[in-house]
Structure 1
């Protein structure tokens, strides 16, 4: 069996996502975009059960999937969805002194994600997740 295409092109797809997220957020570097995207993914993951997070990870492109599950402590207390402003502050708290995520970070990453994956698959899985999940990934 050949290597699946999404794995064969994982690096190129991730670089395209980072450039898209960087440009959407008005950031200067891919490193800044990476920290912003990582923060958005971690904030979302904290609001899901293990089963829900695995279901969500299953629709992500391979590198974003790896970032989503990296250094995960499944015993971490689950948090509730909050308003966009509170969630954004949480995104910005990741590596606070090296994080340039703007107040639009969640929408910027959501838009980049949607432009770089199958939106229908994303929306199908979001519909199975807790209330607040679909709003989190709304553009």
Structure 2
């Protein structure tokens, strides 16, 4: 029996994403890169409707999809009025273990954008909150 592509390459995919984020954001360890990725994905999730959570999550690779949905309880979306508000919430999520690296939101979006297939990346961008769409477009 053959393994689906997503399953076969799941570990390679998350390792590539972590390494790309570690290099781009000049992070010290893969653990920090993973924590930043997870925190970012959870902050995005908090700002999406249930339908958009499904749209976004279904476009992520297998392990990243699992991280995105980890500990999720459906709730009304938190408004995303500015990038600054998003980053304040992300910084609070990462503390006390990690002090948020400068520009981590842009760095994570860059990884998502460059490590995803172009069609998938375009679909992911469509459901991002507007301040993050603007950041994505500037990358």
One fold, TM greater than 0.5? yes
In the alignment, does 2:45 pair up with 1:37?
no
Partner of 2:82: 83
Structure ranking higher in helix proportion: 2
Residue 81 of structure 1 and its aligned partner are, at CA, apart by 1.4
The alignment covers a number of residue pairs equal to: 137
Partner of 1:94: 93
Question: Partners in 1 of 2:136 and 2:4 — Cα distance?
Answer: 26
Deviations 1:40-91 (A, max 9, x none): 101111111111101111110111100100100103x311112222211211
In the alignment, does 2:21 pair up with 1:26?
no
Deviations 1:111-132 (A, max 9, x none): 11122111322213433x3751
Cα RMSD for the two superposed structures: 1.9
Q: Which stretch of structure 1 is more off in the superposition, 48-57 or 84-93?
A: 84-93
Contact 2:14 2:63 in 1 (8 A): yes
Q: 1:29 to 1:61 in 2, by over 3 A?
A: same
> What's the TM-score, normalizing by structure 1?
0.87
Q: 1:57 to 1:137 in 2, by over 3 A?
A: farther
> What's the TM-score, normalizing by structure 2?
0.87
Residue 95 of structure 1 and its aligned partner are, at CA, apart by 3.8
Contact 1:123 1:134 in 2 (8 A): no
Gaps of 5+ in 1: none
Q: Secondary structure at the match of 1:97?
A: coil
Gaps of 5+ in 2: none
Partner of 2:103: 104
Residue 28 of structure 1 and its aligned partner are, at CA, apart by 0.1
Residue 7 of structure 1 and its aligned partner are, at CA, apart by 1.6
Question: Partners in 2 of 1:125 and 1:48 — Cα distance?
Answer: 12
